[in-house]
Amino acid sequence: MAGQSSQAGKSKGGRPSREALEALNRRILDTAAGLFASQGFAATTMEQVASACGAGKDTIYRRYPSKSALFTALMEGLQDQILSDLDARMAVNASAANRLKRFARALLSINLRPQMIALNRVALGEAVAFGGVKPAPAIEDPIMIRLTALVRQAQAEDALREGPPAFVAEQLLYATSIKPLISAMLGESRFSDAAEEERYFNQAWKLFLNGAAG
């Protein structure tokens, strides 16, 4: 039994298995997310991440050659998780308008998660420090691609009037998610209340439809 447990997480050649390496990488990114969110980018060091997740500093640097590379990988991984979450919620048999509303509502809840607020605050601060915010064009942003596709489908069903789908999707995003996210990033606490979050979304969705409904 002792011999079996000592080989846990290792492949036949004595190297860590792929599952063990993936688990280690998740632990590194989860640890980094907590540190960046709680104390900011500047105050977080690679040494702190290594110590907190129980990995050697060399192990961290082999995967991520700099703190910026680590933060970028963290945010990209977070986006992948968000996309998986959104895609799972969209796997329903409903009208395009209903799925569009579900998507926008889910996105608001995701954006208002405490860790998301903190990490977006860090990302914005770093973007400003290095020359300004340069958001990805809607044509390249996977979330906007999905939102635009839902708008196009809702237009095809005559639930929304005609108009450039990407522009309509952008207005919906700003109406339902961006204002609460910015308010939360600036320290406003009103959206930490679930009832207020729901009230705000319903009001924003109604106003959006008043301007876009067919």
pTM listed for this prediction: 0.79
Query: What tens digit of pLDDT does each residue of 71-83 get?
Result: 999 999 999 989 9
Mind listing the pLDDT tens digit of every residue in the chain (214 residues)?
334 444 445 555 557 688 888 888 999 999 999 999 999 998 999 999 999 998 889 999 999 999 999 999 999 999 998 999 898 888 888 899 999 999 999 999 999 999 999 999 888 877 655 554 455 455 578 999 999 999 999 999 999 988 999 999 999 999 999 999 999 999 899 998 999 999 999 999 999 988 755 5
Domain boundaries, the chain: 12-65, 75-214
Query: What tens digit of pLDDT does each residue of 115-155 get?
Result: 999 999 888 877 655 554 455 455 578 999 999 999 999 99
Q: Which fold has domain 75-214?
A: Tetracycline Repressor; domain 2 (1.10.357)
In sequence order, the 6+-apart residues with CB closer than 8 A to the CB of 70 are: 28, 32, 46, 49, 60, 64
Considering the segment(s) 12-65 as one domain, its CATH architecture is Orthogonal Bundle (1.10)
Q: What is the 3-state secondary structure (H, E, C) of 148-214?
A: HHHHHHHHHCCCECCCCHHHHHHHHHHHHHHHHHHHHHCCCCHHHCHHHHHHHHHHHHHHHHHHHEC
Distances (CA, A) of 48 to 24, 60, 71, 188: 16, 11, 14, 30
